[in-house]
Amino acid sequence: MTAEDELRALVDERVRAVRDRDVATLAGRPVTDVLSFDVLPPLRARGTGPMVRHLQEWFDGYDGPIDYSVRDVEVTADADVGFCSFLYHVGGRLRGGDEVDMWVRATLGCRRVDGRWRIVHDHESVPFDPATGRALLSLHPDASTEDGLSPSGADPAGP
């Protein structure tokens, strides 16, 4: 298996683990001092301890299954360093009744440690509107417009 194949398998492992709410598998890939820039607070986190707490809180916030899928995976790798970038979709019903349906940009910086690919940097983001400062949560990779908004030009998620 090539380094690229191994990193694609790491992304697939993540997808299965999120769908299964498998915190142990998700926490087993990062190095102990992983740097995370998540879409949820805090602004940044260092280490697997905060990651485990955050994952459990995220999973516990859903009432029912979590819809999680990735697409447009791009991998660049050599023998011991690699990067995976992709878009992921997350959806489901929160315990408070709200529905989540959004796309997020993600990049994993990875390093092979003792023969196993480990995540050293986990970066997620969503685009924002510079005029309002608000996140654009309704963008979709298959949108028919160049800016990814609905054909009306409005963000259906509202202001």
DSSP structure string for 119-154:
EEEEEEE--B-TTT--B-TT--TT-SSTTSS-TTSS
Report pTM: 0.87
Instruction: Return the SS3 of 105.
Output: strand
Amino acid at 8: R
Domain spanning 3-125 has what CATH number? 3.10.450.50
Query: Where exactly does CATH 3.10.450.50 map onto the chain?
Result: 3-125
| Strands 30-37, 116-125: pairing kind | parallel
Q: In which band, very low, low, confident or very high, does the pLDDT at 143 lie, cut at 50, 70 and 90?
A: confident
For range 2-6, the mean pLDDT: 97
Sign of the alpha-carbon dihedral angle for 13, 16, 19, 23:
negative
Give me the pLDDT at residue 148, please.
52
What pLDDT is stored for residue 30 in this prediction? 97
Mean pLDDT, all residues of the chain: 91
**Mean pLDDT, residues 65-83 taken together:** 97
Average pLDDT in the 71-86 region?
97
